Amino acid sequence: MENSMRRRKFIGYTSVGLGSAIFLPNGFAALGKKGIENISAQELPEKAQFIWHATENAGRNQYVNFRRKIKLSGTIKESIFNIFADTSYQLFINEVFVCQGPIRFDPRYPFFDYIDLKPYLKENAENVISIQANFFGCKTYKSINHIPGLICWGKIFTKKQAVDLSSNSQNWKAAIALERSRYTPQLSFALNPNDFYDQSKEEKWKQVAFNDQAWKPAVAIAKQKAWGSLAKRKIPMLRYEPVTINQSMPPIKVIPLIHQEDKYSFTIPFPDKLNDAVVYPERYYIAYYTYVFSEKEKIVRDISAFWGEMWLNGKEVKPYRHDTELKLSLEWHLQEGWNYLFGKVAPYADILDFYLGIPKTANLTLSANKNDVSDVLFRHTPNVSISAFTDFLEALPLPYPEGVQLPGGIEWLEVRQANRAENPAFESCWDVYGASFESFEIQKIQGKRFSITDYPSGFALLFDLEYIRLCYPILKASGTKGSYIDFVYCEYIDDDQRHLKPTFNYQSADRVKCTEDVIAYMPNQPRGVRYMLITFRGISESICIESFSLRKATYPVVKKGAFKCSDPLLNRIWEMCALTQATNMEDAYVDCVGRERGMYIRDTVIQYHNNLVLFGDQLLFQRCMELYGQSLDASGRFRAVYPNSGTYVIADFALNAVEGFWAQYENTGDQSLLENFWPEMLKNIAWFNNLSDARADYLLDADWLKKGGEVSSNDGFAGDSCVVDGYRDIAGINCEFSCTYVIALRCLSKAANVLGKPTEANAFKKRLEKVSQSIHALLWDAKKGCYSDNLEKRTHSAQANLFALRAGVVDAKQLESVKKHIAQTLRCIFVNGYDDKAGVYMSPSYAFYLFDGLYTAGLEETAENLMRQGWGFFLAKGYQTTPEDFHDSPYQSLCHAWSASPVYYLSKYILGVHYTKAPDFSEVLIKPQTKSVQQAEGKVPHPKGVVEVKWHREKAQIVFDYLKAPEGVKVVI
């Protein structure tokens, strides 16, 4: 990729305020009230280079520290600093944390941040600019695996000097950040690696007084043109505010650790797991062996193990209990003397951590050398290629015979005590606790002391924030020398109300190795925190929490929307959805702030509409759609989640993207996105046109993959994928899929007219008419009086009929029977009438489209009843935010904004605020659409302010108490 590549014209964003940066004890401060959006970014000078610690760099999770020491003389007049890093950076001035960046990006189109350093610099004194850059080097759902590099530039102007801040080998020094380990597990299948911070390797390099003579000059990387031209960031920096502590928050529970088990472990990197082209077969495994010494023949229960299979003295050992997803309980039948233990485990991630736990009371010795003084704990097979495994290891009998020599030149690798795994999620799951006898309010944590007498083996602090937040936990503690501190973050807690429940693919946790009496720690990225377990291990003296805080990392918006009506349940649903939406706004609309933090196109479109009635922000969606415009895969379709290194395409999501581009124009009148990404939209729809052209009736076949088309585990038609089996047959020629195609074609036809392309507009119109006619003719079931899901006409879901309504396929003669069928079918979300156990007829995510169809059809009673049932079900279960689905599952997110669409429909239809001439907002139509609500009031954002409505019902008539709109806006009733 070269700098000369075609650069998109970027949208003319308007700016909003920033808010405050985080303030931390001993070296963290606030940005102040001046919004950095008012700062003019300085032009990139030629002397600024992409730098790192070496010219050629490869590998996962690299950390590099950079320093620039400056002595300033005189009053500071101006100081603008511009910075970009692949993949992430944290900026410090004189030890004070300033910000983290950049925004997620496609390497072809990167963005730099621009920051005013003046609030942090000291006049007539020495200052140091410190940057820690982190190259993820692995597949995530928010970055594209590229190459590492940092570039910065800017100037500090005083009355006496002008200091050039350009990154190059003359002015900047660099060193590998040894304090943060590279080989740690990923926080989840979709996120960057977790943090293992080793205090003994921390050089205090952020301090002005630090002697950096041993550091080498930063090195200009070899591939200076690896990124496209840098553009100025167009959305505001995240807001770092304290997490609000509510009186309702449960107290922090102090849980004593009991050392009842010795843990043995090993870790193996699997870098090829990051490569989509390399697929490990299910039969692939790592083999290991060791010996267990027992003084006599006996049975030992409560042996803990991670996944895999295990044999003791040639006999397979089966688990008798599944304690958690990360822990199995086994029973060993031991002979007197040394017992041969063999096992195998599959690589489930790019870092394979294996753990084995033995009760201390068992008095057993583990040694791969049959020697109680040897520190070789295991031997295991290396990470061999798939072909080497197939050729040499797969044929070996299981278990491998004792003393076997591996074929093909493969050698056993030794694991010593010092090579143990460092997986705080695993270890916290395996911890044994004593009875808790202490708890305290979260407000009282500052200065809290924990006596070594009370907690001789350590302790854990259990936090419950009531719902997940994206935030930094920031801890300063004393008495920590020689201990480990583990942070585990999760949305689920075990029935014992002490252990959290991470899963094999979502192990969000960090570890701190303390070698000094005082530790100050903040993780490398914000974390999604609902429950948090902070465990102090191996303590040798009493621990004092000198300070602790939680700082949110959220997109800065002001809540303008409001809603209140005569139905208290609908009010609570609106507030729950509003909270969910606010929580899931980062540097993109993210699906959730815990497990993935990915920008999915369907989620993004839904969240944008939620935002329209809550905040009225446009910048974030413009940025999201800009990324989607850059996301085309090899087939020419928009990807489902981006930026992302994988080939993750979902067919109907790619069509939803077209709706997103049109929605952005319709709600702003800004056609920049349409202009910039018109070629991409044409390529995207061309794929569907080709699929359509394969049939004379132009309908879309949802089974193209099975019929010899493209092969991808991530491709296909999703639709409403979580409904009960048998309710909707979406195989073959599919009504929803074809209707989604019609809706996208209509958006493109309108967009072509806006762009002055009448020929293309006409072509899209003719095609959508042909597809609509075929849906009408072939998928209508006259006997049932409704549309069928496919040509087989075995099922007739509400989804098929509501999408036919949304697509404009239902004619006047069909409307009443279609409405009757929908109302009958959707009397209840739940198959059994009251909960999810027997299945559901719709999912909370697809509700965004279904509610649209219901209100279009005049079925507002059905829509409101579904909200009361489904979202009332969430509230009845105690959730403060909307979960990913109606089904209970330890894998689902409990704060998923694609489920928050009732906030949009309640504001739009019960308050009745409609911008019918959009993108012309000079007129607003007030038309409440509800039969059950007796009165309502609230606010809906408008480009010039807010529209305020209050009404009540007198008999059958709606009477308006007041209607207020911004100056110059006409109100129509």
Cis preceding-peptide flag for 359 (omega within 30 of 0): no
Of 162, 369, 191, 375, nearest in space to 266 by CA: 375
3-state secondary structure 278-302: CCCCCCCCEEEEEEEEECCCEEEEE
pLDDT score for 572: 99
- Which pLDDT score, from 0 to 100, does residue 114 have? 95
Mention every residue, 6+ apart, whose C-beta is less than 8 A from residue 849: 802, 803, 806
**Long-range CB pairs of 161-164, under 8 A, 24+ apart, other chains included:** 161/72, 161/73, 161/74, 163/70, 163/72, 164/45, 164/47
Compute the average pLDDT of residues 59-87.
Answer: 96
The predicted model gives 13-31 an average pLDDT of 28
Exposure of 692 by Cβ count < 10 A (0-12 exposed, 13-18 middle, 19+ buried)?
Answer: buried
Look up the pTM and report it.
0.93
Output the pLDDT for position 30. Answer: 32
pLDDT band at 26 (very low <50, low <70, confident <90, very high): very low
Residue type, 204: K
Which residues of the chain are in CATH 1.50.10.10 domains? 618-779
Q: How many angstroms separate the Cα of 584 from the Cα of each of 187, 610, 648, 920, 952?
A: 18, 11, 21, 29, 34
The pLDDT value recorded for residue 272 is 72
Strand pairing report for 88-93 and 51-52: unpaired
For residue 719, pLDDT over 90 is answered with yes
Phi, psi for 14 (deg, rounded to 5): -100, 160
Q: Which helix (H) or strand (E) holds 963?
A: strand 957-964
Q: Which CATH superfamily, name and number, covers 36-232?
A: Galactose-binding domain-like (2.60.120.260)
Rounded mean pLDDT, 204-231:
96
For 398-433, the pLDDT digits (tens) are: 999 999 999 999 999 999 988 899 999 999 999 999
CA distance 616 to 915: 13
What's 623-678 look like in SS3?
A: HHHHHHHCCCCCCCCCCCECCCCCCCCCHHHHHHHHHHHHHHHHCCCCCHHHHHCH
Contact 131, 206 (CB under 8 A): no
CA 932 vs. chain centroid, Å, equals 38
Of 2.60.120.460, 1.20.1050.10, 1.50.10.10, 3.30.70.1350, the CATH number of 618-779 is 1.50.10.10
Question: CA 973 to CA 965: how far, in whole Å?
Answer: 13
CA distances from 594 to 468, 583, 584, 724 (A): 7, 11, 10, 27
Give per-residue pLDDT as tens, 598-636: 999 999 999 999 999 999 999 999 999 999 999 999 999
Q: Which fold has domain 426-552?
A: Jelly Rolls (2.60.120)
Structure confidence at residue 522 (pLDDT): 97
Predicted confidence (pLDDT) per residue in 477-529, tens digit: 999 999 999 999 999 999 999 999 999 899 999 999 999 999 999 999 999 99
Phi, psi angles (nearest 5°) of residue 145: -65, 115
Q: Which amino acid is at 157?
A: F
Q: What is the C-alpha separation between 503 and 595, in angstroms, rounded? A: 10
Share above pLDDT 70 across residues of the chain, in percent, rounded to a whole number: 95
Beta bridge partners of 589: 585
Which helix (H) or strand (E) segment holds residue 962: the answer is strand 957-964
Structure-token pair, residue 124: 């007539």
- The three-point CA angle 667-672-676 to 5° equals 130
826 pLDDT above the threshold of 70: yes
Question: What b/e readout covers 270-285, taking b as 16+ CB neighbours within 10 angstroms?
Answer: bbebbeeeeeeeeebb
Beta strands in 432-584 (DSSP E): 432-433, 438-440, 449-450, 458-478, 484-490, 509-513, 518-521, 527-537, 543-552, 562-565
State residue 24's pLDDT score. Answer: 30
What does DSSP assign to residue 505?
T
Q: Is pLDDT of 28 > 50?
A: no
d(CA 239, CA 484): 31
Residues of the chain within CATH 2.60.120.260 domain(s) are 36-232, 426-552
* Secondary structure of residue 327 in the 3-state scheme: strand
CATH number of 261-421: 2.60.120
d(CA 388, CA 394): 9
Going by the DSSP 8-state scheme, the letter that residue 900 receives in this structure is -
